[in-house]
Amino acid sequence: MPALIEVHDVHKVYRTGDVEVHALRGVSLSVEPGEFIAIMGSSGSGKSTLMNLLGCLDRPTDGSYRLAGQEVAYMSRDELAEIRNEVLGFVFQSFNLLARTSALENVELPLVYRGVGSRERERRAMKALEQVGLGDRIDHTPAQLSGGQQQRVAIARAIVGEPKVILADEPTGNLDSKTSIEVMALFQDLGRAGITIVVVTHEPDIAEFASRVVVVRDGLILSDHRQDPKKAA
Amino acid sequence: MGLLVTILVALRAVLRNKMRSFLTTLGIIIGVAAVIAMMAIGAGAKAQVEAAFAAMGTNLLILMPGSTTSGGSFGGFGSMPTLTWDDLTAIRNDVPTVKAAAPQLRSNQSIVSEELNWTTGVVGTSPEYFDIRSWPMGQGQAWTQADVDAGSKVVILGATVVERLFGKNTNPVGQTVRIGKTPFSVVAVAAKKGQSPNGQDYDDTAFIPFTTFAQRIQGGLGKFLSGTVFIQATAPNTTNRAMEDVKALLRDRHHIAQGADDDFSIRNLSEIAGAQQQGTETMTTLLASVAMVSLIVGGIGIMNIMLVSVTERTREIGLRMAIGAKPRTVLVQFLVEALVLSIAGGLMGVALGVGAATWIAGKFHWPMQIQVDVITVSVAFSALVGLVFGIYPAWRASRLDPIDALRYE
């Protein structure tokens, strides 16, 4: 059985004016279903670029990326949008919830773009919110929720479409340590449920909760090791 | 994503910022309201002019004696009796484009009922007159050719005169009034006609046979017709022809040499009406164009706010793209938002315009006509404005790179 994520010798070159920046210089990575990976690295290491490529938000300059059996490296913008909608879920550092919009409607959003009917949307969004422990906050707008609650709404939005992979970019960056641990516990739960989790972080404390840590430096993978994850809850 | 969902998403976005949305659409609201109000009042004025001229009579020519220069000095129309009764007969019988002709002798006389008196313009004429001026009787029967031949002392009163002499809502048919010293029997009341284009009350008048008029008021029926002649052409398109024909006939009958001035003048009422209407139309078009400019300015306002909105919501756009919105979907969303704004503005403008027109019309007693096609066109035009000025911001939104958009601060 092929791996869920298969990145092979991926290069990414940015061109700003006359200067070429080699953000990735041949990265290969293979991730099995249900793994919980932390990608670490300092700023400028290329971890964000790798994250964007894994999230199908960007295309590599060279190399191959197979996601769930499909070669996605050279797909069109529209095809990538569909892949993001169906296979991936995103969690961001700053939550990126729609302001003045209820938690339920925020969570429904990916299903809106998938063309799911309103009743089914609502049912699945309710389920996702209950899964993250916010079943009693569905009518609250982001302004009425704490940071941790907002991030949990964002996680509910990421899982509502039943993705294979969740990509989290510094998901605890705006949270205090106690809330951070709660969020990581939620990710561990989702991992046990079979969803692959990829977390980008620069905090070693957070990486401890992952089962595998990949360190990126100067556009290359410096180390890649499996570990016993620390239990968050 | 279905269109309905897109519209709902757009509506929600518009309603999220009610005050700003309202101010954005204000340009459109004012533009549409101005167009609607202008057109409603313009159409009303046009209809009023039309009605007023129709009230004067259709395909009407007015023949007046006298010429502009009489013996070197300006005499004014109607100052010299140059028309004869035989001229009238000739016009009636010899010009094929003339359907009917009637004399109008006029003099201000005091009419006295049992208790009251009222000075009004008494007109001596023939029965054709009421056809020519499309003026039916409200009560009673008009006097006939037989009364003209006999010189009967019968009178048709105008509605205003009835009101002054007998009071409102009365029927004076059968009563007797005196004009000067002569008693006249009231045979009919002419239907109410209202005001002439220059504000004169049509109903402040009384009609008697011209023979009676000549005898009792002018002191005998002579050779000359000391008044004007109302001529009706056979059809609207023969009016000018009839004018030329009558002119030729009279020049011949009056032995006017080639190159010499007419000793009469003819006015074509449809021409005057046309000129007046053209004036109204020009004014309406002018005002409507100004309103159109306001609509375009409103469109620029929408574009401005949509551009601000796209910039402000860059992260939202990035998020929507990250979770599966295609560039086209984003384009449609922002386009629909611009459309929702402009159409809502258009509809509010319609309401405001209709309200304003009604208010102005009521306040100044102006006529107005709300035209459904004007409303349709204005709303369609505001939608078009939204589309044209919304496409660029929407395109900008759809071209955003999700990575940059998500990172935008």
Q: Looking at this predicted complex, what is its ipTM? A: 0.94
Range of lowest pLDDT (A182-186, B160-164, B257-261, B383-387) = B257-261
Q: Are B189 and B138 in contact (CB under 8 A)?
A: yes
In chain A, what residues touch B329 (CB-CB under 8 Å)?
113
Contact B254, B56 (CB under 8 A): no
Residues B119 and B185 in one domain: yes
Residue-by-residue DSSP string for A4-36: SEEEEEEEEEEEETTEEEEEEEEEEEEE-TT-E
pLDDT reading at B181 higher than 90: no
The whole-angstrom separation of Cα B206 and Cα A135 is 89
pLDDT score for B72: 44
Say if CB B210 and CB B126 are below 8 A apart.
yes
Sign of the CA dihedral B254, B258, B260, B264?
positive
Rounded to two decimals, the pTM is: 0.72
Q: Does any domain span residue B247? A: no
H-helix or E-strand containing B274? Answer: helix B269-312
Nearest residue of B to residue A82 by CA position? B324
Judge contact between A49 and A66, C-beta under 8 A: no
Of B1, B2, B322, nearest to A57 by CB-CB distance is B322
The pLDDT of residue A206 is 92
Residues in chain B with CB shorter than 8 Å from the CB of A121 are none
List the domain boundaries for chain A: 33-57+76-226
Assess contact for A214 and A30: CB atoms under 8 A.
Answer: no
Q: Is B59 helix (H, G, I), strand (E, B) or coil?
A: coil
Q: For position A86, what pLDDT does the model report?
A: 94
One domain for residues B112 and B218:
yes
- Which of the listed residues B186, B201, B225 is the one where a domain comes to its end? B225
Is residue B123, in this structure, part of any structural domain at all?
A: yes
Residues on A contacting B at a C-beta cutoff of 8 Å: 52, 55, 57-58, 77-78, 81-82, 84-86, 90, 92, 94, 96, 98-101, 109-110, 112-115, 157
Exposure string (b/e) for A60-91, b if CB count within 10 Å is 16 or more? Answer: bbebebbbbeeebbebeeeebbbbbbbbbbbb
pLDDT bucket at A44, cuts 50 / 70 / 90: confident
In a domain, B94, yes or no: no
Domain co-membership, B112 together with B205: yes
Average pLDDT over residues B150-160: 92
pLDDT class of B75 with cuts at 50, 70, 90: very low
A45's enclosing H/E stretch is none
Most B CBs within 10 Å, among A76, A113, A155, A167, to test the B interface: A113
Does residue B59 belong to any structural domain of this protein? no
pLDDT confidence tier of residue B35, bands split at 50, 70 and 90: confident
User: How far does A205 lie from chain B, in Å, by closest CA?
Assistant: 24
Q: Are residues B126 and B210 in the same domain?
A: yes
B32 in a domain, yes or no?
A: yes
Contact in structure between B336 and B14 (CB atoms under 8 Å): no
B214 and B284 share a domain? no
Chain A residues whose CB is inside 8 A of the B402 CB are: 57
* pLDDT tens by residue, A158-171: 999 999 999 999 99
By Cβ distance, the residue of B12, B320, B403 closest to A57 is B403
Do residues B188 and B310 share a domain?
A: no
Residue-wise over A213-232: b if at least 16 C-beta within 10 A, else e? bbbbeebebeeeeeeebeeb
B39-74 pLDDT, tens digit per residue, is 888 888 888 777 777 777 778 888 988 754 444 444
Residue entry with tokens 């089962």: A211
Indicate if B107 and B167 belong to the same structural domain: yes
Cα A228 to Cα A224: distance, rounded to the nearest angstrom: 14
Does the structure show a pLDDT above 50 at B386? yes
CB atoms within 10 A of CB B265: 17
Contact B5 A110 (CB under 8 A): no
Helix, strand or coil, per DSSP, at residue B391: helix
| Contact between B177 and B165 (Cβ < 8 Å) | yes
Same-domain pairing of B290 and B389: yes
Q: Is the pLDDT of residue A33 over 80?
A: yes
C-alpha span between B242 and A114 (Å, rounded): 77
B326 shares contact with chain A (CB less than 8 Å): yes
**What is the percentage of chain A residues whose pLDDT exceeds 90?**
83
Q: Which residue of A has its CA nearest to B319?
A: A96
Secondary structure tally for chain B: helices H, strands E? 13, 12
Residue B342 scores a pLDDT above 60: yes
For residue A219, the Cα-to-chain-centroid distance in whole angstroms is 20
What mean pLDDT is reported for chain B? 86
Region B97-109: mean pLDDT is: 91
- C-alpha A199/C-alpha A171 separation (Å) is 7
For residue B154, being part of any structural domain is answered with yes
- How many Å lie between the alpha carbon of A223 and the closest alpha carbon of chain B? 26
Of B208, B225, B242, the one marking the end of a domain is: B225
Question: How many domains does chain B contain in total?
Answer: 2
Neighbouring residues of B252: CB distance < 8 A, sequence distance ≥ 6: none
Would the CB atoms of B406 and A81 count as touching at under 8 Å?
no
**Spatial distance between the Cα atoms of A103 and A141, rounded to a whole number of angstroms:** 6
Give the CATH fold of the A33-57+76-226 domain. Answer: Rossmann fold (3.40.50)
Given a contact cutoff of 8 angstroms between Cβ atoms, the answer to whether B321 and B1 are in contact is: no
Helix/strand/coil percent split, chain B, to 5:
55, 20, 25
pLDDT digits (tens, 9 = 90+) for A55-109: 999 999 999 999 998 999 889 999 999 999 999 999 999 999 998 889 999 999 9
Task: Give the domain extent around B314.
Answer: 3-52+276-407
